[in-house]
Amino acid sequence: MKKKLYFILSFLLLICYSGRAQNEVEAREIMFKAVDMMQDPTGIYMEYHAQFTRLFVKDGWIVLKGNKFHRESKRTIEWYDGKNHWSLNRSSRKLKLNMPSEYGNDKDIGSYLQQVRTKYNFTLKDSKEGYWITLEAKKNAKVDIKRGMVLINKLTNQPVRVKMKWSIFWVTLDLANIKKSTYDDSFFVYDKEKYPNTKMIMKKK
């Protein structure tokens, strides 16, 4: 009787482990397809709506090309060419060079996307909205975002909503109108001729 009970328990544990492993593999495959799309070498355009509590709401659009990005909102314009980062305040006309961006700690967006590939464990939940993938930072992983959730469209494999936990707060990012676009590398570099009368504030990383 004890042998039968041990066999049954072992079999159930094996099924549960296999199920978790398969879930992890499927979640990883779906997530990596989305990351590959976000890091398309020709360029990706998308619009966003960011909300951090009721006090912080921001709308804008962003273009990603490999590890480069160009972002515009009502308040700011940002350029990142893979090495230098510029941030222009539209109203004050102050331009900051090599200052940390809103994405955190001097890291560019490409660095965060690369972290997804190596620094997190994944779980998948199928829903009517799409695939919800939960990201949990691996033990001892040096990342700013310890936990996140991504909603991915089942048909396009595009991310629709991203939830990131910063400290004890959650930031929600809704994405829309995602499409491939071709941009020259100059699009990701600040052009002083297009923005005259700006005050440069330089600070090396």
Cα 22 from chain centre: 24
Residue 143: is it exposed, middle or buried by C-beta count within 10 angstroms (0-12/13-18/19+)? Answer: middle
Per the structure block, which two tokens stand in for 204?
A: 């090396």
Measured distance CA(149)–CA(113) in Å, rounded: 14
For 140, the token pair is 């001892």
Query: Domain holding 195: CATH number?
Result: 2.50.20.10
Q: What's the token pair of residue 6?
A: 């041990």
Mean pLDDT of 113-118: 86
Report pLDDT digits (tens) over 19-72: 455 678 888 899 999 988 888 888 999 999 988 876 788 899 999 998 889 999
pLDDT digits (tens, 9 = 90+) for 152-187: 999 999 999 999 887 777 889 999 999 998 899 999
Q: Does the model's pTM come out above 0.95?
A: no
* Cβ atoms 178, 150 nearer than 8 A: no
Cα–Cα distance between 27 and 20 in angstroms, integer? 10
Q: Which domain covers residue 169, as residue numbers?
A: 2-202
Task: Please count the structural domains in the chain.
Answer: 1
